[in-house]
Structure 1
Amino acid sequence: MSLSSTRREARERAVELLYEADSKSVHPEDVVAGLPIRPDAYALELAFGVADHQTEIDHVLDRYANRWPVKRMAAMDRMVLRLGVLELATQLDVPPGVCLSEAVELGGRYGSTDDTPKFVNGILARVAEEVRDGDRPWMPIEVVVFDMDGVIRHWTAQAIGAFQDAHDLPPDAVGSIAFSEPLYSDAMCGRLTAEEWAAEIGRRLAEAHDGVDADAGRQMWLETEWRIDDEVVAIVSALRDAGQRVAVFSNATTKLEVDMGTMGIHELFHDICNSSLIGLMKPDVASFEHVADEVLGVAPERLLFIDDRHENVVGALDAGWHAVQMRSAAGIAAVLRRLQVPGAPDPT
């Protein structure tokens, strides 16, 4: 059997996996885990790749199919187009003409109408111009930029929970104050220091709930603990050891750099971009533009951003960055391998 026919079958299997995963609202890995026979490696690479990069893929498609956005497309049309974008952007050994012709054939086989092949060809031809010959290739990546909270650091709720239990407060008593606006934005954009934010949280807790001491509330917030994702830190270390530039861009307080020193990871990153120091926070497009131009000095299309929040990923994409949403350390490693980032961990 020739490579071309094998890959054609792999593409068909990938579309089927993507459709099943989409209908169940799960990652294709979850679908594969329940199969008696593991599909072809190229089928898995395509299916997993589409899922890992779906936000950016849909962002691309919506720019070229603005009269028929992705969310309005028939499910199978959407899967075929997503696969086509992924293959064009990341499988550089496959000629763009082959990517297009194979996607058109898939559109004819699985598409919702007789016009699907033409629709697929029209969109993917423009995508090919962008990612293969234009100014928006997905690689090489010059800087990998990590979010801090939710990616490298995960906050625990033990101190908050204990405080609420001790004062017989509702489960959202602390969070509803700490993350209320404009208080939260003031802390993240540096209009309040970390200590001032904590003091205001304590003051408002005491004002809203009898028996709560403002200073105790302040101290509780300052003592909130976290855990480090050692697997993600290991990935960052591997990238740096391979000569890859790595950075942090975090919505954070004025304590971020001190906290990173406590974690022992401050020296791991070439650049630390703290929203409270630049006065701009994610997902504001202006924040990403500032970081690219004024802090990193790198063209946006050479930046890869990894964040746990969908809206922040979209903000980065709107600013011209490449971006993916954090799923797991293994998922990050797969993305880095796919984009040929030096130091990307080998699959385990």
Structure 2
Amino acid sequence: MSRERTRCREKILTYLFQQDMGQEIEVEFKEFSPQAQVFAYKLWEGCNKYRDLADRIIEEFAKGWSLERLGTIERNALRIAICEILTFPDIPVGVSVNEAVELTKKYVGESASKFVNGVLRNILRNWNRVLEIKDKEYAIRKD
């Protein structure tokens, strides 16, 4: 199942990349097992639900980097990891971080994967601040 989840994350990375490029996308995960499809759809929904929040978190913890300055793969790998951590509390955060790092390494390279790892480690070290940002973000949306 973990290898299949990796493929789900990879497909979501592709969809997020296409979204960033302004392309119309039709989301489907039919090639996966029913269990993996549930995971993929839930993660996709989490990525859409928490996208703005993930972007605020990235901007706060990617010191010296604006969202626009980040590469599209790096930005979306970070989004996936953050959204996965928020959506799936039962998945160990180390798994979410490692998956984002490996996706970045596969599509961009070693240097970019180290950057993604560093940003995610910084986010996790400051998780209470992340929760403050989340609470503030959703309080604003309720007003």
Normalising by structure 2, what TM-score?
Answer: 0.80
Q: Structure 2: which 5+ runs fail to align?
A: none
Q: Kindly indicate whether residue 117 of structure 2 is the aligned counterpart of residue 121 of structure 1.
A: yes
2:76 aligned residue: 79
Higher relative contact order (CA 8 A, sep 6+): 2
Out of 3, 6, 9, which is 2:4 matched to? Answer: 6
SS in structure 2 at match of 1:123 = helix
1:67 aligned residue: 64
Q: Kindly indicate whether residue 118 of structure 2 is the aligned counterpart of residue 322 of structure 1.
A: no
| Partners of 2:96 and 2:29 in 1: CA distance | 29
| Partners of 1:106 and 1:89 in 2: CA distance | 19
Q: Kindly indicate whether residue 26 of structure 2 is the aligned counterpart of residue 31 of structure 1.
A: yes
| Partners of 1:93 and 1:58 in 2: CA distance | 23
**Higher strand fraction (1 or 2):** 1
Is the CA contact 1:88–1:128 (under 8 Å) kept in the aligned structure 2?
no
| Partners of 1:323 and 1:130 in 2: CA distance | 19
| Partners of 2:48 and 2:113 in 1: CA distance | 22
| Partners of 1:98 and 1:325 in 2: CA distance | 31
When the two structures are aligned, how many residues end up with a matched partner? Answer: 137
Normalising by structure 1, what TM-score?
Answer: 0.35
Larger radius of gyration: 1
| Partners of 1:24 and 1:100 in 2: CA distance | 27
| Partners of 1:119 and 1:19 in 2: CA distance | 18
SS in structure 1 at match of 2:138 = strand
How far 1:87 moved relative to its partner? 1.2
Out of 14, 17, 21, which is 2:15 matched to? Answer: 17
Kindly report the root-mean-square deviation, in angstroms, between the aligned alpha carbons of the 2 structures.
2.8
| Partners of 1:20 and 1:325 in 2: CA distance | 29
1:82-161 matched pairs, under 5 angstroms? 82-111=79-108, 113-131=109-127, 134=128, 136-137=130-131
SS in structure 2 at match of 1:67 = coil
| Partners of 2:64 and 2:71 in 1: CA distance | 14
TM superposition outliers: structure 1 runs of 4+ over 6 Å: none
**Higher helix fraction (1 or 2):** 2
1:221-300 matched pairs, under 5 angstroms? none
Shift in alpha-carbon separation, 1:108–1:321, aligned structure 2, 3 A: same
Is the CA contact 2:43–2:87 (under 8 Å) kept in the aligned structure 1?
no
SS in structure 2 at match of 1:322 = helix
| Partners of 1:45 and 1:324 in 2: CA distance | 23
Aligned residues with identical type, % of pairs: 26
Which amino acid letter does the alignment assign opposite residue 89 of structure 1?
Answer: L
Question: Residues 217-258 of structure 1, C-alpha deviation per residue, up to 9 Å, x if partnerless?
Answer: xxxxxxxxxxxxxxxxxxxxxxxxxxxxxxxxxxxxxxxxxx
| Partners of 2:44 and 2:136 in 1: CA distance | 23
How far 1:52 moved relative to its partner? 2.2
1:164-179 matched pairs, under 5 angstroms? none
Is the CA contact 1:52–1:324 (under 8 Å) kept in the aligned structure 2?
no
